[in-house]
């Protein structure tokens, strides 16, 4: 009977997140993760065959966490879906700091990974799909929030502006809905 592993795949992902938070995306390597976890590189590669596999697992983990914050999306009216989206973005601030978002940029540069990202966004826009004015306002608000997310990657949140910009998007979105 083999020994019970002292570190799990989930434990390695926790440590990997810490590396990205502390050193940025460039600091995350198989070797750095092995050192931080006090295991061999082979031990890391048992769970993640490559850095790309590790990054893919981190992105999947963050996406799952975000989807959990977002809640049920099927059958939710467009306006409510975007309200939930803005709320989820606010709730994910700690997990989605600029250094982690930088990892996402590297992730989508891989052609295999971009497909998953595109499909996720396509599903969001499908849910916001019809031509009604509230659906149109919801799509614009979603695009604005995603634009803020991309700006956050470049460090726009250093002075705490992120939350105020989300307030602006939410306020304009609600005013648009009131005018219908």
Domain ranges of the chain: 1-49, 58-178
Strands (E), 124-172: none
Q: Transcribe 91-143 into DSSP letters.
A: HTTTTT-HHHHHHHHHHHTSHHHHHHHHHHHHHHHHHT-S-SHHHHHHHHHHH
pLDDT of residue 47: 93
The residues near 85 (Cβ < 8 Å, ≥ 6 apart) are 70, 141, 142, 145
Q: Supply the pLDDT for residue 170.
A: 92
What residue ranges of the chain have pLDDT lower than 70?
1-5, 92-109, 153-160, 180
Q: Hey, what CATH topology would domain 1-49 get?
A: Arc Repressor Mutant, subunit A (1.10.10)
DSSP E strands, the chain: none
């Amino acid at each position: 009977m083999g020994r019970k592993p002292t570190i799990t795949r989930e434990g390695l992902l926790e440590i990997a997140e810490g590396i990205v938070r502390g050193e940025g995306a460039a600091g995350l390597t198989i070797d750095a993760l092995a050192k931080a976890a006090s295991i061999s590189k082979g031990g890391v590669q048992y769970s993640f065959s490559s850095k790309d596999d590790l990054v893919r697992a981190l992105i999947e983990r963050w996406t799952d966490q975000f989807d959990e914050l977002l809640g049920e999306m099927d059958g939710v009216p467009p306006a409510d879906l975007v309200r939930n989206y803005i709320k989820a973005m606010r709730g994910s601030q700690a997990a989605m700091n600029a250094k982690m978002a930088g990892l996402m940029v590297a992730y989508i540069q891989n052609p295999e990974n971009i497909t998953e990202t595109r499909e996720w966004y396509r599903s969001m826009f499908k849910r916001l799909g019809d031509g009604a004015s509230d659906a149109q306002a919801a799509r614009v608000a979603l695009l604005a929030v995603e634009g803020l997310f991309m700006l956050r990657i470049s460090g726009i949140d250093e002075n705490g502006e992120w939350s105020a910009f989300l307030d602006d998007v939410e306020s304009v979105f609600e005013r648009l809905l009131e005018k219908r």
